[in-house]
Structure 1
């Protein structure tokens, strides 16, 4: 039986990794991070946020062409990326399926123990590891050598800094400035 509630209520609380909780209705589509009562900032990710929040569109397209998903979520996207983060940091990420809650405007929610910048760095680090693993399975030693050489010059923190400066994080579409 459905639980009665006030019409328009965006009901429910989400228990955060820090032990605090937050009302689902307080997490709108434009929110990327919030200051918690615990004193820390927590990153917020929704299924409607594009993967270009973390990576340039050209790389998102390459990931979509390269990674075969085996679920009902379709091509590689934010839910898959957050799944990778959750797999690596299970105690640092909470997720909620809100697909039955028609009042919030999104279906999946993740809140992390990290702030949004640290989450961005984690996402980049994990995708680089994924790419390195994929290249290592190629039967082309030259490709692996070239990838390793390029990664020697790649600074995750610097990439994230520059990328965040060039993006518009004020709306849910995270478009280039």
Structure 2
């Protein structure tokens, strides 16, 4: 007997920003991009993807040490990164809570209107903005001046290109959390 498609439950259908929809069972845990019927590739992120998908592990450690979370998600991670993206681009990211569906292997999934490379750039840009905002509240003009000087030399596109070239997506820091 077929199961009904109840939002957030077993058999959930995710309405994508492009107007198409995808069954959550078609979104594999290891999937980073979904080739949609609309002709575009959409980035796929699940809660089990580590934040090192976007940043080197040393930077993930720094973010975890400096960013306090006040939710039940634990330490700063992919769920928080995608929350930042969702806040900035609410109409361009579809999300679904499928924690009741043990067949998929993840609890949260996000599918963006962007491909995985563009999503990577957006995540980096938003974290840089977050860092800048945090420094603006610090009592150190010297730290803010140094950060601004460092950002003049920082190229998001170049960082993403290099990180994606060098990143071993099957390494020890890229396993389910």
TM-score between the two structures when normalised by the length of structure 1: 0.91
Note the C-alpha offset of 1:135: 0.9
Q: Output the CA distance in 1 between the equivalents of 2:174 and 2:163.
A: 11
Instruction: Point out where structure 1 has 5 or more consecutive residues left out of the alignment.
Output: none
CA contact (8 A) 1:99 1:107 kept: yes
CA contact (8 A) 2:93 2:111 kept: yes
For residues 90-129 of structure 1, what are the structure 2 equivalents within 5 Å? 90-129=90-129
Note the C-alpha offset of 1:55: 0.5
Note the C-alpha offset of 1:46: 0.2
Distance 1:159 1:33, change over 3 A: same
Q: Output the CA distance in 1 between the equivalents of 2:133 and 2:16.
A: 32
> What is the root-mean-square deviation of aligned Cα atoms in Å?
1.9
Aligned residue for 1:91, secondary structure, equals helix
Aligned partner of 2:157 in structure 1 is 157
Aligned residue for 1:94, secondary structure, equals strand
Q: Output the CA distance in 2 between the equivalents of 1:170 and 1:140.
A: 40
Alignment coverage as a number of residue pairs: 170
Aligned partner of 1:57 in structure 2 is 57
CA contact (8 A) 2:84 2:126 kept: yes
Instruction: Point out where structure 2 has 5 or more consecutive residues left out of the alignment.
Output: 5-9
TM-score between the two structures when normalised by the length of structure 2: 0.91
Note the C-alpha offset of 1:34: 1.4
Aligned partner of 1:5 in structure 2 is 3
